[in-house]
A and B are shown apart, each in its own frame.
Chain A
């Protein structure tokens, strides 16, 4: 009996407290960003904050439900959960509802549900399941391709539904693969490609080619006797320059205009002042408003419900993707740093717990949770602060929205359940 009790409450309370703090603080900011006039009732279903009250209430039901399943259930049913998620995503093509040009929602009465938010934990489970299989060796090309396919299928479906932002999140699994044995060369190649892409866009293909040549030539001479044939180097050079050129072509012809403009704004590619002025009114409008709201917060912020730009609804979508700008304006530097600290602490805590797991499934899953949260946090907050180009994804636990909140809650609490069970794993 005693053991039974101990086991049931062996949940990691630090993670749970961090989760609760984020949800509570997020709720306050949603309240601030979405209220119009007096707040009459916290359950006012015509207002986003009223709905969020319900969402948060249901979240606790969901948590109890998740924790009440056996930990083994998640490992055993990982593939089925994954399949259900894929079917849900596929179903969108038939039954889905268009919102803002993206076909990402099911409409049930007045409620909408976004399956892509749930596909993340399903994919994380499937990846964990596949990697933890004794047969799997991440160092082999075959398994690398297979595990890539697991994340590629949902990512592709989401991309086809016109939700490019959510697709990018699936890159998070790179961290998982790397942890589980993916060769270092992928990391180097990945980083090189990012650098090449940015260089190519910012400075043009010619300058990129010159820089690349210099780097490769110096590597060639520094390698000394170990260096291989000169042709290998030439091929690498051609591939690099070709990639950079390809990125440039893709940027110019493959991207939609608004995506192109977002990148152009980020890398400051546009030089024509007239076009720039136009961009400021369109693509950059949100960003400028958001940066201004954050800047006006100063050290301590203007106070809860006192943000003038928040009250004036200057930042569109402020209660969803741009919720962090409310934190910046009303809670100032201290408040927003606190949120950054909460997220980093939560992610580090999950990483710590993941490393301490005895079962590989739990560890891989934990890593997946940390990676997904990290990518979401980085992209969303970075975007709102103007550090990275605009990508429309929510801030976990913070942004308004039922699907998002539930998706992240399930993601996190399955791991808490797995973690609580590690004492039984031998």
Chain B
């Protein structure tokens, strides 16, 4: 018994120690992570972010250096009030700010670094740099911020902002305080533009002194600079589009049909991209974000999904020819609308009757297209099948689904098929007469401006298109193959000519005859789309949207365009004028139709947009008068409320 006391104690102590070691090293200690090791300082070296050029080599986005004060809360030594005062004065913050910021950083992680004060001015940085060593736990991180060489294209270029915790959790490459592309090409080409940051692991001692590289620097990496990119955007055309869009809301998309390159991508209202740089970014962003009326961050060229209206008729003409339910000579009567029995299914405006395909398009006759559309649907044993075949044709133009391209936002649009109506009306409890609105681009059909521009490109190309994209060149790289491969529609090439003739006659003798541009054969189609909003839960009709889709020249088109102006009334009123101007600007480089230009620049729709929010009854469409601004040159943009 006496012999056993020490023996059992020794064994017991051994077991307790091993258990304690297990607790310390295995149970409570996570796997070793060098990024959480406070003995190793991580020094990041952020590479140059790639520059952004336009298609003509004009520099749009460059960089400017920026300095952040970072903090590792665990390493912060308590400061006496004098030192604290000095530190706060250097950083131009109050002591309360100091506590708040430190707490926030500690809440994120006591071991990892967080930004403390961001984007110091150069003079502040110069003063601070000298004294930084005195303040344990703080260091200065150099980054590069964007410097916009232009005031246009905010929706195209996008911006960079700080990563949030969700991004860090998903992509461990990013650390707190890093910048990432948030919108536009900065977002879609983030990986190309950002490059790869370099990292140096430095062994520290307990006095926070660097004592050399960790493991002789075998884990250190050099930064890889970001690659420059060239966009397909023509900055002059983009700027012109933005000028035309002033005081209006809507979108303009201009494409090069021979390559699918996006020449201009205008969304109105726009804003100056410089607003989203530097310390003011979050304040300005919030302001833009909260503007739920004008929605400047909503890219109307890409995201806004509207009923396409009459431009969609040409698709029905093409499907009709392909399905062999109509030929170019057959005429249909229009009695100011389409009648089913004695019931008027759709109205029409005044034009001569009866019309064949050419005039049907040029005069935008509703009755003509309802006839064609019904024949397509009724060609098959049941409407569902007919509807599916019709939808399949329409979708081959890139409608009704995402374009799957390199833009950061987009919408699907909508091309309804048989299933869609089976769900709406019940299986087979509907027929072609229920859905005739689709014939004229109203009803359930919806499309975004970029889809309509792409549709115009596919028509101009006589049956194929390239996926619209914004990247022209990546430094030392090629652009993806999907942008260089044509996509064919389901319509035979020979059917396009008569339709294109019809679109040409829209300008010659039809709805856009006043918009002709000397020397350019433009093929286009006007559109006017009814639209409604809910005001105090009452469905209220607003002034129609003005739509125009075009390509030019007629043969070997260089530009395809879709213009959408919210509440602009009929198609040629706003959208048609703007499309003609854009085409002329792009093809000729200058404007001969100055009358059109002047009209657009001096007419505003701001009053129109204010109506639904006025709280008073208002008139729409023909009963309104247009707001005229006198001195458009001096008149500034709606950005004046945002401080730069």
Which A residues have a C-beta under 8 Å from some C-beta of B?
Answer: 37, 175, 178-179, 181, 187, 277, 289, 291, 294-299, 302, 306, 308-309, 311-314, 316, 328, 332-333, 336-337, 340-341, 343-344, 347-348, 351, 355, 367, 370-371, 374, 377-378, 381-382, 385, 387
Contacts and interface: CB of A to CB of B under 8 A. Distances in A.
A308 B24 CA distance: 17
A337 B18 contact: yes
A297 B17 CA distance: 15
B21 A312 contact: no
17 contacts: A277-B78, A294-B24, A298-B31, A308-B40, A312-B39, A312-B204, A333-B25, A337-B18, A340-B14, A340-B17, A348-B11, A370-B6, A374-B13, A377-B13, A385-B20, A385-B24, A387-B16
A323 B9 CA distance: 23
B534 interface: no
Which are the 10 A-B pairs with shortest beta-carbon distances? A344-B14, A308-B39, A295-B29, A312-B39, A333-B25, A312-B205, A314-B206, A175-B6, A309-B39, A340-B17
B7 A351 contact: yes
Main secondary structure on A side of the interface with B: helix
Contacts of A311: 39, 203, 211
Given A341-B14, A387-B16, A312 B3 contact: no
A40 B14 CA distance: 37
Contact of A314 (B24, B39, B214): B39
Interface in B549-570: none
Main secondary structure on B side of the interface with A: helix
Contacts of A344: 10-11, 13-14
Contacts of A297: 25, 29
B423 interface: no
Given A175-B6, A294-B25, A370-B6, A385 B37 contact: no
B2 interface: yes
B340 interface: no
Interface in B9-63: 9-11, 13-14, 16-18, 20-22, 24-26, 28-29, 31-32, 34, 37, 39-40
Contacts of B32: 296, 298, 302
Contacts of B3: 179, 355
Given A299-B26, A312-B203, A344-B10, A294 B31 contact: no
A374 B9 contact: yes
B25 A387 contact: no
A370 B5 CA distance: 12
A179 B25 contact: no
A309 B212 CA distance: 13
B17 A382 contact: yes
A351 B11 CA distance: 12
Contacts of A367: 6
A371 B10 CA distance: 9
A149 to B, nearest CB: 23
Contacts of B643: none
Nearest to A381: B17
Interface in B379-417: none
A328 B21 contact: yes
Given A297-B25, A351-B10, 17 more contacts: A179-B2, A179-B6, A306-B215, A308-B37, A308-B39, A311-B39, A312-B204, A328-B25, A336-B21, A337-B21, A340-B18, A341-B14, A344-B13, A348-B11, A367-B6, A385-B24, A387-B20
A289 B29 CA distance: 14
A210 B78 CA distance: 43
A298 B203 CA distance: 20
Given A298-B32, A308-B214, A312-B203, A340 B25 contact: no
A28 to B, nearest CB: 18
A361 to B, nearest CB: 17
A296 B25 CA distance: 7
Given A308-B214, A382-B17, A178 B5 contact: yes
A313 B206 contact: yes
B4 to A, nearest CB: 10
A285 B485 CA distance: 67
B615 to A, nearest CB: 57
Given A295-B25, A340-B21, A313 B31 contact: no
Contacts of A299: 25-26
Nearest to B215: A306
A382 B16 CA distance: 9
A299 B32 CA distance: 10
Interface of B: 2-3, 5-7, 9-11, 13-14, 16-18, 20-22, 24-26, 28-29, 31-32, 34, 37, 39-40, 78, 203-206, 211-212, 214-215
Nearest to B36: A296
A314 B29 contact: no
Nearest to A367: B6
A348 B39 contact: no
Contacts of A337: 18, 21
B5 A348 contact: no
A298 B205 contact: no
Contacts of B16: 387
Contacts of A374: 6, 9-10, 13
B205 A313 contact: yes
Contacts of B21: 294, 328, 333, 336-337, 340, 385
A175 B9 CA distance: 10
A158 B339 CA distance: 117
B31 A178 contact: no
B7 A37 contact: no
A347 B20 CA distance: 20
A304 to B, nearest CB: 12
A385 B78 CA distance: 27
Contacts of B203: 308, 311-312
B17 A178 contact: no
A333 B211 CA distance: 27
Contacts of B5: 175, 178-179, 187
A207 B314 CA distance: 94
A34 to B, nearest CB: 13
A298 B39 contact: no
B26 A333 contact: yes
Nearest to A340: B17
A330 to B, nearest CB: 12
Contact of A385 (B2, B17, B206): B17
B24 A328 contact: yes
Contact of B205 (A181, A291, A314, A340): A314
Which of the listed residues B3, B11, B34, B212 has the most CB atoms from chain A within 10 Å of its own CB? B3
A301 B13 CA distance: 23
A412 to B, nearest CB: 16
Nearest to B13: A378
A298 B29 contact: yes
A313 B204 CA distance: 9
Contacts of B206: 289, 312-314, 316
A186 to B, nearest CB: 12
Contact of A298 (B2, B17, B25): B25
A293 B25 CA distance: 9
Which of the listed residues B7, B16, B39, B215 has the most CB atoms from chain A within 10 Å of its own CB? B39
A311 B215 CA distance: 10
Nearest to A36: B211
A134 B2 CA distance: 20
B480 to A, nearest CB: 43
Which of the listed residues B5, B6, B205, B212 has the most CB atoms from chain A within 10 Å of its own CB? B6
Contacts of A340: 14, 17-18, 21
